Copies of this chain bind each other. A is one copy, B any other.
Amino acid sequence: MVFKTPTTSLSRHTPTAVFYREKNLVEDMLKSGSQSDFVSVMMEHILGRQIKPEEQRVMNAVLITMMEHGFTPSAIATRSVYMSAPENLQGAVAAGLLAIGSQFVGTVENNARLLASLASLEGEERRTYAKEIVNEYRGRKAHIPGFGHHLHYPDDPRAKRLIEIGQENGFSGKYIESLHLLSEVIDEITGRHITINATGATAALLGEMGIPVDLMRGFSVIGRTAGLVAHIAEEQQRPSGRYIWDLVDKSIPYED
């Protein structure tokens, strides 16, 4: 089989220059007098288009929110690996990132897929489909991605604020509408209030910005990477890895 040669538009280099897409890193992006902003540069580099200030503001809020939530499975993996291999900081970060999967932070994509389907419909059709979704998940006793949080109630404070920030910056279209509709239908059918969570709000905001669903998890990864580096910084000062090992080993009894 012969494979067609792919091309790249991300980067090229000469002995005296590096280009990010069509821009010269040193002469355009880092030039004197310009205020280089990592978040905008990163968005333009990933998405391959110009970024509006409103998008940059929402992305900052999303990245900050995804950064940290204490001793999560991610942080526990990072600290356990760092204790064992401190010469290898990147391995500890990598271990923690591997926990961004289908069950927690990574649910952003699953929620976005639901929102995308809903956003493509209008009026009663949209509401009817929302009911179908909720009933289908309830039928198989599954969590609806983007809803509920085992630590935050009645509402995930982050979700509410992220949605407001979206609104303040002009992002309150079909994805946000669909998220609110889904929330309403969930409460109606279950007979109790289940919060929109931070990944649900993130999914809607990234959807409003036109970010492809399959790429959304990438932004959770970027935000969380910074948080895991903070856990390593703290581990360097106040080691917890050994204590966690001992604690877990002693707390889970052997049973034949």
Q: Please give the residue numbers on chain A whose beta carbons come within 8 Å of chain B beta carbons, in ascending order.
A: 1, 3-13, 15-18, 20-22, 25-26, 29-30, 32, 35-39, 41-42, 45-48, 57, 59-61, 63-65, 67-74, 76-77, 80-81, 83-95, 97-106, 150-155, 157-158, 160-162, 164-165, 168, 212, 214-215, 217-219, 221-223, 225-227, 229-234, 236, 238-249, 251-256
A78 to chain B, nearest CB (A): 8
A209 to chain B, nearest CB (A): 14
A42 to chain B, nearest CB (A): 4
Residue from B17, B60, B229 in contact with A218 in the complex, judged by beta carbons closer than 8 Å: B229
Sample of 12 further A-B pairs with CB below 8 A, known A86-B101, A218-B229:
A3-B246, A6-B252, A11-B254, A29-B64, A30-B64, A45-B230, A70-B249, A73-B80, A81-B98, A81-B99, A90-B99, A212-B236
| Bound-complex Cα distance A26 to B244 (A) | 28
A26 to chain B, nearest CB (A): 4
- Residues from chain B with Cβ under 8 Å of A225 in the complex: 221-222, 225
| Bound-complex Cα distance A67 to B25 (A) | 11
Which of A7, A77, A150, A160 counts the most B-chain CB atoms under 10 A from its CB? Answer: A77
Count of chain copies: 4
Q: Are A217 and B10 in contact (CB under 8 A)?
A: no
| Bound-complex Cα distance A176 to B152 (A) | 47
Q: Are A238 and B91 in contact (CB under 8 A)?
A: no
